[in-house]
Amino acid sequence: MKKVKSNVKTARTITGTVNRDVLEYTVGNDPEWDLHLAEWDCIGTAAHVTMLAAMPVNPPVMQPAECAAVIKELAAIIARIRQGRFSISRADQDVHMAVERMLTDRLGDTGRRVHTGRSRNDQVAVDLRLYSKNELLNTLDETLALARALCRFARKHKNVPMVGRTHLQPAMPSSVGLWASGYAEGLLDDIVTLEAAYTVNDRNPLGSAAGYGVPLPIDRRLTTRLLGFREPVHNVFYASCARGKVEGIILCALQQIMLELSRIAEDLIIFSMPEFGYFSLPKEFCTGSSIMPQKYNPDVLELVRGRTARIMGLAQGVLITRKALPGGYNRDLQETKGALIEGFNCVRGSLRMLAGIIDGIVVNREALLGAFSPGVFATDYALELVAAGRPFRAAYNHVREHLDELGCADPFKAVSRKTHLGATAGLDLKLLMSSISRHAASSKSRRRKFYGCLSKLVGVNYQEVK
């Protein structure tokens, strides 16, 4: 219900004077989103000034002592960020201007040299890649943690019979182990796209300036090494065009994880209804109603579904932004930042919630066994006729015509008879667990290398950070 001010007012920014309403519109939520990038902006700037100080020009753009002073200030800003004492004013517009202003306030002309040979596009591109690299590693670890929880759950209830369903209708005998480890395997497929996003992201855009380079001997290989990137983005025009693209690829990968989680959530919501009662959800993950005293609702699982929808929309928004966008930087891309940050927060939160729920589920054997009806064994019976020599289609038709005569079989036996690879009695959970461990080890070693570079660059300890 805010009123639009009719009287035009202006505000001063580092690049000139602008209309206040315009500033409000253009800055948008940047000061808030940029807080997530603040530490990474300091790190990117540290790499840039280290490179400037090493640049073989005469007179040098920056003296080694100036460089050290800047890095010291950056470390101080990082400390402030970690203490929650860093903020971005609307006049600063964004984190880049805020940091440059702080450096200039403290170091005068040295601060004014920092932006030599780079643009804000450059900065935000490198900030986002550093931020995303860290978040991708976190997401990887948390995806693996959920896969591990599902495997543990599968192992614990491996041979507990459960009605297998297609079209939600009872279909064939299955087991809790098959159900849970199936989703774990699904998450491992999602890690393939997550890894691809990691690979695309793990390249250094710094040194592209506004997308057309600068007439200075910028050493992009040096900043690549300092920041722990796999390699530089080569073409500087592409370095700038890739903004929004990397975010889109990451969000598509995150969206895949959410889709998998939404299916786990849906199954759990259904199977914990009193009409099924297969699973009791841990009460600390349920919430009540303001009017109905008896309620314990699976709110967390429903929010996983709801946030899947939201992330899908955010991803879609980022993709649409790039459609037919002219080459070179365009301001449209500012809008992709928030979607990326919200995407990571939401996926990571959902992964942790689900891992907690899986760990806390109580499995009700009686309810699971009670759900078996004769029809569930119809296919097994047809295949027994096949084993006795009948062509399958004839056996199928025979059973279909004698459904009423079908009796209930022993679910445990039914489950134990599917011995082929990946079936209820052919599951190799160790294989799955070892695949999870391999991924975890690779993530750990990447993190160690990455944090090693960062610690060396700004002298801040990155060992314990997550």
Query: Which residues 126-165 are close enough to bind a copy of itself by CB under 8 A?
Result: 134, 164-165
Pattern 74-93, a copy of itself, x by CB under 8 A: --------------------
Single out the catalytic residue among 6, 115, 157, 167. 167
Could you say which of 63, 104, 159, 455 contacts a copy of itself (CB under 8 A)?
104
Nearest approach in angstroms of CB 456 to a copy of itself is 18
Q: Could you write out the three-class secondary structure of the chain?
A: CCCCCCCCCEEEECCEEEEHHHHHHHHCCHHHHHHHHHHHHHHHHHHHHHHHHCCCCCCCCCCHHHHHHHHHHHHHHHHHHHCCCCCCCCCCCCHHHHHHHHHHHHHCHHHHHCCCCCCHHHHHHHHHHHHHHHHHHHHHHHHHHHHHHHHHHHHHCCCCEEEEEECCEEEEEEEHHHHHHHHHHHHHHHHHHHHHHHHHHCEECCCCCCCCCCCCCCCHHHHHHHHCCCEECCCHHHHHHCCCHHHHHHHHHHHHHHHHHHHHHHHHHHHCCCCCCCEECCHHHCECCCCCCCCCECHHHHHHHHHHHHHHHHHHHHHHHHCCCCCCCCHHHHHHHHHHHHHHHHHHHHHHHHHHHHHHCEECHHHHHHCCCHHHHHHHHHHHHHHCCCCHHHHHHHHHHCHHHCCCCCHHHHHHCCCCCCCCCCCCHHHHHHHHHHHHHHHHHHHHHHHHHHHHHHCCCCCCCC
Could you say which of 45, 50, 132, 334 contacts a copy of itself (CB under 8 A)?
334
Query: Which residues 401-460 are close enough to bind a copy of itself by CB under 8 A?
Result: 403, 406, 414, 417-424, 426-428, 431-432
Among this protein's residues, is 132 annotated catalytic? no
**216 interacts with a copy of itself by CB under 8 A:** yes
- 170 vs 228, which CB is nearer to a copy of itself? 170
Query: Which residues 36-65 are close enough to bind a copy of itself by CB under 8 A?
Result: 39, 57, 59, 61
Candidates 41-49, 67-75, 195-203, 442-450: pick the segment binding a copy of itself (CB under 8 A): 195-203
**241 interacts with a copy of itself by CB under 8 A:** yes
Could you say which of 256, 347, 361, 443 contacts a copy of itself (CB under 8 A)?
256
Single out the catalytic residue among 89, 234, 289, 442. 289
**210 interacts with a copy of itself by CB under 8 A:** yes
Number of residues that bind a copy of itself (CB under 8 A): 205
- 384 vs 444, which CB is nearer to a copy of itself? 384
**314 interacts with a copy of itself by CB under 8 A:** yes
**262 interacts with a copy of itself by CB under 8 A:** yes
Among this protein's residues, is 167 annotated catalytic? yes
- 120 vs 148, which CB is nearer to a copy of itself? 120
- 71 vs 257, which CB is nearer to a copy of itself? 257
Could you say which of 42, 125, 178, 361 contacts a copy of itself (CB under 8 A)?
178
Catalytic positions are 167, 289
